[in-house]
Structure 1
Amino acid sequence: MTTPLRSELTAPSSANSRQVTPAQAWYAVAILTIANVSGNVDRQILSLMVRPIKRDLHVTDTEVSLLMGLGFVAFYSVLGLPIGRWVDRGHRPRIVALGAAVWSVMTVITGGVRSYAGLFAARIGVGAGEATLGPAAVSIISDSFPRKSLGVAMSTYMLGTFAGSGIAYALTAFVVGRFSQPGLVAVPFVGNVFPWQLVFFFVGLPGLLVALLALTIREPRVLDATAIEANRAAQLPFAEVVRYMRANLRTIGALSLGFAFSASANYALVAWLASFLIRTYGWTEAQAGTLQGALTLTLGPLGVMLGGRLTDRWTRLGHIDAPLRVGMLGAAGMLVFAGLFPLMPTALLAGLMLVPVNLFAAMPWGAANAAIAEAMPARMRGQGSSFYQLVVNLFSGVVGPTAVALMTDKVFRDPLALRYSLSIVTVVAMSMAILLMAWGRPAFRATVQRLRTE
């Protein structure tokens, strides 16, 4: 006889699933969270390097925004589609391990290039490696937890996003604060690099250990020879996935675009907050990174776990659309506080406003992963998650940072007007997020209820 907790956590999602104990399920979440930390450290470290990158590579705000946006996100998003199909039929922990190895190696390579083109190409490689993590993690966690616990499980995984970002800011502030001078530094076996590039070696190499840890996760799906053959025979044509998404277009569209607009404001703040503090209040990179790191590392996890607990609580109360409710609440808080903080007359007031900004910015993201997992049948969950991430990351990663840069460069034509660009982009993006999620709530409820009866 199993315990109640075991019976909750071992509800297989398909014929090829096997039981996963609570300990194994939470161990998988722990390792995936560590992988998420590693990936986000590698992803976010450029945001504090805008000034030395512009100085040493002679580029504009818009070109830097492409490094933080298009260079990473395009391949991260597009490669997610074939990776999603691989996730739906392959050994998911091995997929995570391979991806972690790739993004770690490419991060180290970033530390050795000395041109804008080389930096852009290396960021593409980091994005290609990280494209494996999201679809695999959502699929593994969804197969290991029941619906009423999915919000907290997904939110725990999403802790890695904020912990990783906080570590990136703090580490970058430490390194750049000590090696921000112009010139070159000699690195053994690599050669001369710009001083700010040293941070890439510090954050890239530990990711190889993450790759090894990923191999210790138990695969919830049975992958013996018989099951593999059965899985191949039953493999879904991509056309069937497309038909399902078309039949549930309002649900999938509202989820993808609603959270994409929400994420675009987050991407913009991540990319330009340090530059805003430096340009508006005369801070140094080290001061900006310390504040950004402390807020993200402490309030980000608190916000995302609050969102997960709200999702599970509202789900237990019978609100099928609980993830969208949490998404709308987070967007509303961001609209107010993130719209106002760039306009504050002093750094102290801006810093105080950043406390609720960090809470509301983090709140929706465990709920968002839970929502797409609930809206897709288990047999196509990897591909559904990949499509969702394609829309969210490609839209937000390119539009968010670049919209702020273009407004600053082309509309205001003044670097000191960055504060107004941040405020405008945030208010517009969060207004659209709320409208799209509200529009999608009835369809989401209908989709989830229909899947429960199948």
Structure 2
Amino acid sequence: MKPEESVGREPERGTGVSLTRAYYVLVLLTLVWALQFANIQIVNVVLEQIKNDFRVSDTAMGLIAGIVVTLLGSLLSMPVARLADRKGRLAIISIGVAFWSVLTTLGGFAQNVLQLVLARIGFGIGGAVSPAPGNSLVSDFFPRDKLPMAMAIMSMAPCIGGLVAAWIGGIVGSSHWGWRGAFVAVAIPGFIVAALLYFTVREPVRGIQDGKHADVREYGIGETVRFFFENTTYLLIVIGFTFSGIADLALATWFVPFMQRVHGTSLLEASTFGGTLNSVAGIAGVLLGGAVIGRLGKRDDRWKIVGPGVTSLLAGPVLMVFLFAPLPWTYVGLFFAMILLTFRMGPILGLVQSVVKVRMRAFAAATLFMIGTIVGSAAGPLLIGVLNDLLEGRYGPLAIRYSLLCVAASSMLGALFYLWAGRHVRADIGRSLAG
């Protein structure tokens, strides 16, 4: 069977890819990213247990939950993306998923902090295969008018992964199996999805959704980097996405400890109820972003980045409700803040695929995620951990409330760069299509 052929419905006119096949692949790629995020988030859900087990500080836990996992993997995502722009993306993703599933399992058997750190570093290395090659694949399965919603569906992955981690971490972590059992349980589904992706999906033709005049030439690393630096929209998106990443990762890492320390909730309540609320709001946000911007973006490409800019700006004051309101209003603030924070994901990831050339897409997405993840994981979880330790003498367990003000500030800073990018987006989309 040729790569562009499909099983089921006849190919959509002009694309050579059936929507049945496209959505099947989209589901699998969404599961890949969701499970990867679940394997990251599981540390955050059972963070207090690991801290007490190994008797380490908040600063140390901020490192383990953040930069330890992401640094090497994020750096390796660049050569992996370059490989994905030339070779089989599906094989690369499948092997990587199986690899990081093994490393998460091994992390559950760690007997000291060093062993856990090494296992998390190995997990981060495997994580280099996602989500950038997956984004590139989605852009070849869906036509341009359906891409924002497809990317929005894929962007539900962190919310789904957070929900999986919350329930597994809450239920298994609260049982006699503890955090170690939670690590093993969250790793198992990865092996199944890796097998499905490898054995049931074929590579699409690159650039098939961009028309017969699309520029599908391979570009050298120098030409690619030069194109990025000359692309104002892309540069501003990277900066804005980095500030957004700081907010996302800080909130994801310290949400459960915040609820435990400030409101006295149990691990089970904070992870299951709070985590479910968090994930449902996140899913609603990415779907709303995909639907609204998919419609508005047909009229004017600027909405694809201005819309996320507006919602990221509004998220700042709404986060204040989450941080300072009493229960149950803190959950109300969390719900609406997550909708606003996640609204940006589908439109921005879709726009990145539209402002670069076909053979630059995986590398462009990898660069976006690498910078956002490295800076976000370093300045997010770690910064909050350091501030917690510094402010604990004055505020006690409430120190985390004031440390998390960084989340609101970072989201609003990111919004300013998104709004700035709106002035350049139409010109840069035109440049990406030129031969």
User: Normalized against structure 1, the TM-score is what?
Assistant: 0.87
Moved over 6 A (4+): none
- 2:331 is equivalent to residue 324 of structure 1: no
**Deviation, structure 1 residue 22:** 1.6
Unaligned runs of 5+ in 1: 11-18, 180-184, 186-194, 223-232
Equivalent residue number for residue 91 of structure 1: 88
Equivalent residue number for residue 148 of structure 2: 151
Equivalent residue number for residue 3 of structure 2: none
Equivalent residue number for residue 238 of structure 1: 221
- 2:144 is equivalent to residue 162 of structure 1: no
- 2:411 is equivalent to residue 430 of structure 1: yes
Q: Provide the rounded CA distance (Å) in 2 between the counterparts of 1:235 and 1:361.
A: 35
Please list the CA deviations of residues 416-442 of structure 1 after superposition, one character each: whole Å capped at 9, or x if unmatched.
Answer: 2101111x2022202211111122222
- Sequence identity (%): 27
**Deviation, structure 1 residue 138:** 0.7
SS in 1 for 2:204: coil
Q: Provide the rounded CA distance (Å) in 2 between the counterparts of 1:366 and 1:113.
A: 37
Unaligned runs of 5+ in 2: 1-8, 207-215
Query: For 1:218, which of 202, 205, 208 is the aligned residue?
Result: 202
- 2:54 is equivalent to residue 57 of structure 1: yes
**Deviation, structure 1 residue 60:** 0.7
**Deviation, structure 1 residue 234:** 5.9
- 2:306 is equivalent to residue 335 of structure 1: no
SS in 2 for 1:206: helix
Query: For 2:334, which of 354, 357, 370 is the aligned residue?
Result: 354
| Number of residue equivalences | 415
Query: For 1:275, which of 257, 262, 284 is the aligned residue?
Result: 257
Equivalent residue number for residue 192 of structure 1: none
Preserved CA contact (<8 Å) 1:31 1:217: no
SS in 2 for 1:205: helix
Please list the CA deviations of residues 18-47 of structure 1 after superposition, one character each: whole Å capped at 9, or x if unmatched.
Answer: x32222211110111121221111111011
Q: Provide the rounded CA distance (Å) in 2 between the counterparts of 1:277 and 1:303.
A: 22
> RMSD between aligned alpha carbons?
1.9
Please list the CA deviations of residues 347-396 of structure 1 after superposition, one character each: whole Å capped at 9, or x if unmatched.
Answer: 21111211202211221111121121111100111111111111111111
Equivalent residue number for residue 26 of structure 1: 23
Question: Aligned AA for 1:428?
Answer: A
Q: 1:451 to 1:282 in 2, by over 3 A?
A: same
User: Normalized against structure 2, the TM-score is what?
Assistant: 0.91
SS in 2 for 1:89: coil
- 2:261 is equivalent to residue 264 of structure 1: no
SS in 2 for 1:114: coil
Query: What are the within-5 Å matches in structure 2 for residues 268-417 of structure 1?
Result: 268-317=250-299, 319-344=300-325, 346-411=326-391, 413=393, 414-417=396-399
**Deviation, structure 1 residue 326:** 2.8
Question: Aligned AA for 2:289?
Answer: G
**Deviation, structure 1 residue 453:** 4.3
Q: 1:237 to 1:453 in 2, by over 3 A?
A: closer
Q: Provide the rounded CA distance (Å) in 2 between the counterparts of 1:418 and 1:35.
A: 32
Q: 1:428 to 1:412 in 2, by over 3 A?
A: farther
Equivalent residue number for residue 133 of structure 1: 130
Q: Provide the rounded CA distance (Å) in 2 between the counterparts of 1:295 and 1:329.
A: 23
Please list the CA deviations of residues 307-346 of structure 1 after superposition, one character each: whole Å capped at 9, or x if unmatched.
Answer: 11122111112x21222123213312321211331111x2
